[in-house]
């Protein structure tokens, strides 16, 4: 926006990309090197009458002038021709040619504060092009950081904010008297323009440094049309910015000159998450704009009505009672217990019902499916909404944990009532081992479910958070890879924000619906013990079951040669179980079905631990090899410092991935880990046997891989490698790394001795 000046000088260098906000915002205002920039003239009043927005730059009725770097207006050409040294100076400021700038200034050919008639300084051009060293030099030479230039009478800070350039903004606010409250010709201050940029890291920085008690900016400061930053973020469909602004106290009930709430503007993009967030923030769904339209009418105009109704229903609003909040007839804690224990009742009924050898096989199967589906819908639409309001709530409810624990309960019941009474010396040891395994996986299951998986402590003081941000800026690491914009805390290595617990989890592995919790630094050992014990428990339960039926088959009075005791597809012992112990048989087959994904999950976890990886890191590794990693909102200047990588020129692309039901099922049972493991193994084999010069695996850094032996010692032992430390669990974020105890709550750098390549 600030680049739209009277000077008509086209940018010679790429301006830093304004960032996309997460998965739901489009990339804006990207200018390619060497292209000519269109300059807009603006009239705010015209667009207010129309009550529409065509760009995030302003609510404007724009007139577009064709610009040309050389063949512009006669005045511009003549001015540049009359002052070729100044034109060279401006071009050097754009491209960051500091040596050329210094030569022009020290020779006296150009004054650092000199401008063309438009008033745009070299500092403006250096700021908008992310040339931090040029910015520093010009500031040291006395260039005014509050100089207003261009048609919009904007300052260098405005230009940098409009393009989301955090490092330039930080320098101007920290080392100069740049005023963030200063407004341009469109009545935008620095916070408005930071919101327009959709760079969440810049907005977070501005909120922390300039907003709050005793600071220079008010989070709900209106522009000339009475639109606040929340109005703009909602219009842009920028969920990250919306959340950040609401965190700092932005008011969702503010109206602009057209009586539009932020909620009304959110329908322009129609993103569900933004609508849901603004609704939860207290937006009035019946508030009317200056045309007498409420949220429902605006939603119809923007073809979002069905989506809006869906959002309201998921928010527990009742369409039969004027969308009032429904009464929750069941306490959330009790509803969770009902969800968890329902499979305990339904599973045995289904297993008992499927006595297929007694006739009516198809009706029995049909009734069993109907019962299971009825249970699913009963929980999804009657019980779960009492504590969870989401589109697909079952994976984030205790239902799957209930499926597992219910299955385990009835297996233990059958083992005690059917298998133990028939114990013999031959299978005494197997039963003893099974008892130990049952005790192990039951304890680990409930412990892993209820334990804190490793929540990273979140500062409550904004000054402390700002210090963390400043540290990241000094390191050139202030981006969404190193700072959590959901919890406003610096990310330790290997951590990830959990959408389930809504906390940052240290050494995050994955969310497991089967234990109804995240797997992190404090319960990963418990989870691994749980699945390994469960794996072998299923094997022994199956072995003892078949051994029992084999014994009964050989018992006097049972004739396996009798046609009534034979099955076409099953062995004699399995046939005996199928025809005479259908509950036990169905339970065993159900366990074997579960065994498929449990075995694949065990293999995936074993491979990942052997390579010093978590499941989350393994997925990132897969993305790196496919070169599909996400945009991290970094705006590190190309000349920021030695050893600091500049921001990627890749722009944020709003790719919306819709998971198919098959993909969801694969992820729920953990088969995705197995498939990724198989894929990596195949790629490794292909690359070892091929003659290709490029090997993607050789370019991937795995800094936590210390060899298979050390990786497993680090995983199982806490502190010294002694038998008793095998049973220790982290009190906070402590765990072993290459034989040394580290705190994963505060691990921001990889120890130098830890770096290895795959």
What is the Cα–Cα distance from 685 to 663, expressed in whole angstroms? 26
Q: Residue 505: in which H helix or E strand, if any? A: strand 503-505
Residue 492 exposure: Cα atoms within 13 Å on the Cβ side:
22
DSSP letter at 374 equals H
Contacts of 486 (CB under 8 A, 6+ apart): 243, 497, 502, 504
Contacts of 412 (CB under 8 A, 6+ apart): 438
> Do residues 269 and 308 touch, judged by C-beta distance below 8 A?
no
Residue 548 exposure: Cα atoms within 13 Å on the Cβ side:
24
Cα dist from 528 to 101, 293, 430, 447, 519, whole Å: 61, 56, 22, 12, 10
Q: Quote the tokens at residue 119.
A: 């008033």
Residue 360 has a CB neighbour count (10 Å cut-off) of 11
> Do residues 474 and 728 touch, judged by C-beta distance below 8 A?
no
- State residue 505 phi and psi, 5-degree precision: -105, 125
Question: Which spans in 489-581 are helix H?
Answer: 524-553, 572-580
Active site residue 512: yes
Contacts of 350 (CB under 8 A, 6+ apart): 368, 371, 372, 586
DSSP letters spanning 243-269: HHHHHTT--TT---TT---HHHHHTTT
Q: How far apart are the first and last CA of the chain?
A: 45
SS3 481: coil
Strand 503-505 and strand 510-512: pairing? unpaired
> Do residues 343 and 403 touch, judged by C-beta distance below 8 A?
yes
Q: Quote the tokens at residue 179.
A: 């005023």
DSSP letter at 565 equals G
Cα dist from 715 to 154, 422, 521, 710, whole Å: 56, 39, 10, 9
Residue 197 has a CB neighbour count (10 Å cut-off) of 33
What is the Cα–Cα distance from 53 to 73, expressed in whole angstroms? 30
Residue 693 has a CB neighbour count (10 Å cut-off) of 5
Among candidate residues 161, 229, 304, 512, the one labeled active-site is: 512
What is the Cα–Cα distance from 28 to 45, expressed in whole angstroms? 24
Strand partners, 154: 149
Which residue from 12, 166, 4, 164 is spatially nearest to 89, judged by alpha carbons? 12
- State residue 520 phi and psi, 5-degree precision: -135, -160
513-547 in b/e burial notation, b at 16+ Cβ within 10 A?
bbbbbbbbbbbbbbbbbbbbbbbbbbbbbeebbbb
Q: Quote the tokens at residue 587.
A: 């339970």
What is the Cα–Cα distance from 470 to 465, expressed in whole angstroms? 9
Question: Which 3-state string (H, E, C) describes 596-662?
Answer: HHHHHHHHHHHHHHHCCCCHHHHHHHHHHHHCCCCCCCCCCCCCCCCCCCCCCCCCCCCCCCCCCHH
Which residues are marked as active site?
Answer: 512
């Amino acid at each position: 926006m600030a680049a739209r000046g009277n000077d008509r000088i086209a940018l010679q260098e790429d301006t830093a990309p304004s960032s996309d906000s997460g998965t739901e915002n489009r990339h804006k205002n990207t200018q390619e090197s060497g292209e000519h920039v269109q300059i807009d003239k603006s009239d705010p009043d015209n667009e207010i009458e129309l009550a529409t927005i065509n760009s995030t730059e302003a609510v404007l009725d724009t007139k577009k002038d064709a610009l040309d770097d050389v063949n512009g207006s006669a005045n511009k050409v003549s001015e540049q021709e009359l002052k070729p040294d100044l034109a060279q100076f401006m071009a050097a400021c754009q491209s960051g040619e500091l040596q050329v700038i210094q030569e022009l200034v020290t020779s006296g050919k150009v004054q650092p504060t000199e401008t063309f008639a438009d008033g745009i300084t070299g500092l403006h051009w250096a700021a908008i092009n992310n040339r931090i060293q040029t910015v520093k030099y010009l500031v040291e030479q006395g260039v005014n950081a509050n100089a207003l230039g261009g048609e919009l009478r904007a300052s260098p800070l405005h230009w940098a904010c409009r393009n989301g350039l955090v490092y330039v903004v930080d320098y101007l606010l920290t080392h100069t008297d740049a005023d963030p409250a200063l407004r341009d010709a469109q009545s935008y201050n620095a916070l408005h323009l930071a919101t327009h940029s959709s760079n969440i890291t810049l907005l977070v920085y501005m909120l922390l440094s300039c907003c709050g008690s005793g600071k220079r900016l008010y989070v709900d400061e209106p522009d000339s049309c009475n639109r606040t930053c929340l109005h703009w973020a909602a219009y842009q469909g920028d969920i990250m910015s919306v959340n950040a602004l609401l965190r700092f106290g932005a008011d969702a009930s503010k109206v602009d000159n057209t009586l539009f709430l932020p909620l009304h503007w959110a329908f322009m993009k129609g993103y569900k998450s933004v609508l849901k967030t603004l609704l939860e923030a207290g937006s009035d769904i019946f508030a009317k704009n200056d045309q007498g339209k409420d949220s429902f009418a605006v939603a119809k105009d923007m073809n979002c009505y069905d989506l809006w109704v869906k959002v309201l229903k998921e928010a527990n609003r009742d369409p039969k009672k004027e969308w009032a909040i429904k009464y929750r007839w069941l306490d959330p804690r009790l509803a969770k217990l009902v969800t968890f224990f329902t499979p305990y009742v339904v599973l045995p009924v289904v297993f008992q019902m499927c006595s297929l050898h007694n006739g009516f096989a198809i009706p029995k199967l049909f009734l069993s499916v109907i019962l299971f589906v009825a249970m699913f819908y009963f929980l999804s639409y009657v019980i779960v909404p009492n504590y969870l309001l989401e589109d697909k709530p079952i994976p984030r409810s205790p239902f799957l944990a209930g499926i597992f624990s219910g299955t385990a309960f009835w297996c233990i019941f059958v083992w005690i009532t059917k298998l133990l009474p028939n114990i013999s010396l031959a299978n005494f040891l197997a039963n003893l081992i099974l008892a130990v395994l049952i005790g192990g996986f039951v304890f680990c299951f409930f412990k892993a479910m209820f334990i804190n998986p490793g929540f990273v402590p979140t500062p409550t003081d904004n000054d402390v958070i700002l210090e963390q941000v400043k540290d990241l800026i000094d390191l050139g690491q202030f981006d969404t890879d190193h700072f959590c914009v959901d919890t406003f805390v610096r990310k330790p290595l290997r951590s990830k924000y959990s959408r389930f617990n809504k906390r940052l989890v240290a050494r995050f592995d994955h969310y497991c619906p089967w234990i109804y919790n995240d797997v992190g630094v404090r319960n990963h050992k418990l989870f691994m013990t749980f699945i390994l014990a469960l794996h072998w428990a299923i094997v022994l339960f199956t072995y003892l079951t078949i051994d029992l039926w084999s014994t009964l088959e050989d018992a006097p009075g049972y004739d396996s040669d009798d046609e009534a005791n034979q099955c076409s597809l099953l062995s004699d012992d399995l046939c005996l179980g199928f025809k005479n112990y259908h509950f036990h048989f169905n339970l065993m087959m159900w366990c074997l079905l579960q065994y498929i994904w449990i075995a694949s999950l065990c293999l995936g976890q074993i491979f990942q631990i052997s390579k010093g990886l978590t499941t989350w890191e393994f997925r990132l590794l897969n993305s790196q090899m496919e070169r599909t990693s996400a945009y991290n909102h970094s705006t590190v200047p190309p000349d920021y410092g030695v050893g600091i990588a500049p921001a990627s020129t890749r722009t944020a692309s709003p790719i919306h991935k819709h998971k198919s039901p098959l993909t969801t099922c694969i992820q729920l049972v953990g088969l995705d880990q197995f498939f990724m493991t198989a894929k990596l193994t195949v790629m490794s084999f292909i690359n070892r046997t091929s003659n290709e010069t490029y090997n993607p695996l050789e370019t991937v850094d795995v800094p936590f891989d210390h060899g298979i032996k050390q990786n497993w010692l680090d995983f199982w032992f806490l502190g010294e490698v002694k038998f008793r430390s095998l049973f220790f669990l982290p009190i906070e974020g402590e765990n072993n790394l290459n034989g040394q105890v580290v705190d994963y709550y505060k691990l921001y750098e990889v120890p130098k001795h830890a770096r290895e390549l795959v």
